[in-house]
Homo-oligomer: A and B are copies of this chain.
Amino acid sequence: MLTTERHQLILNLLKEKQSIKIQELVELTAASESTIRRDLTELEELQKLERVFGGASRIAPNVPEPSLSDKAAKNLKEKQLVARYAASLVKTGDSLFLDAGTTTAQMIPFLTDKDVTVVTNGLSHLEALIEHGITSYLTGGFIKSRTGALVGPQATQSLENYRFDKSFLGVNGIHPVHGFTTPDPEEAAVKRRAGELSRSCYVLADQSKYGKVSFAHIFDLSRSALIIDGLPDEALEEIERQTTIKVVTQ
C-alpha cells in the first residue's frame, strides 16, 4: 500500500468516526506500527488530524466556549508566563491587535486595568474580553471553525480601519532563515497586515515552536520582537542577531 493510499484511508476513516487506534490502522493497512506512527505524525503536521495517545482523532472545531480547549490547555503555564510579560508592555490607553492565538488569549486578564482598545480576529477571545470589560472590536470575515479565527480578504481589509500601538501575534514556526510561519496563508495575511499597521509588533511563543517551519510565511524575524519561554543558547544568539528577543522564565 502506497503512503498516499494509507493517508487517504486514515482520513476517510476519520470522516466516519471521531477517533481511531494505531492497532486498527496496522490491521487495515498491513503496515507496521512505526509506519503508521510516521503517517500520523505527518498528517498532524498538515493539521489534518490530531495525534492522541494510542491513535488519532479528528480535529475538533474550535467552538468558543467557557471551557479550555485541548489546544489552549497545552503548555498553559508557559503561555501565561509569556502573556503576563507581554501584557506588562502595554500602556494605559494603548490600541492593540490580539490575534487568534492561545497565548494572546492569555493576555486578556492582565489587560483589565489598562483601559485599552482591542481588535481581534479570535473568536475564542470573545468571552474573556467581554468578561473583563475591555472595549473590543472584531475584524469580521470568514469563520474558520478549525481554529476559531476570522480570516479572508474581509478580515484583512477590515484592519485598514485601524492603527495599532501594538500587535501581539502567535505563530507556529520560528526559524532563523525561514522566519515566522503559520499553517494557513489567510491567517498569515491577517497577522502580517496587523503587524504592518502597528507601531510595535510582538510575537509570543513557547519554545516548542523554535526550529519549526509551517506552510505560510508571515514575515522575517527582523520584523517583530519575540517573547518566548526559553531557547537553547546557540538559538538565542542567532535570534539576537536578527531581532529583539525576551526570554521569560518566571
Footprint of B on A, CB under 8 Å?
2-5, 8, 18-19, 21, 45-48, 52-55, 57, 59, 61-68, 70, 73, 123, 126-127, 129-131, 133, 135-143, 145, 150, 152-155, 157-158, 161
Contact = CB atoms under 8 A, between A and B. Distances in A.
Given A47-B66, A127-B64, A130-B61, A2 B54 contact: yes
A96 to B, nearest CB: 14
A53 B48 CA distance: 20
A140 B127 contact: no
A42 to B, nearest CB: 9
A146 to B, nearest CB: 10
Contacts of A126: 63-64, 123, 143
Nearest to A47: B67
Please give the count of copies of this chain that the complex contains: 2
B143 A154 contact: no
Contact of A140 (B5, B46, B53, B141): B141
Contact of A5 (B18, B45, B138, B152): B18
Nearest to A120: B143
Contacts of A141: 137-138, 140
A185 to B, nearest CB: 18
Nearest to A69: B46
Contact of A138 (B55, B65, B129, B150): B150
Given A5-B19, A136-B142, 9 more contacts: A8-B18, A46-B67, A46-B73, A63-B127, A126-B143, A137-B141, A138-B141, A139-B140, A154-B161
Contact of A63 (B46, B53, B130): B130
Given A3-B53, A63-B131, A126-B123, A154 B145 contact: no
Contacts of A19: 2, 4-5, 8
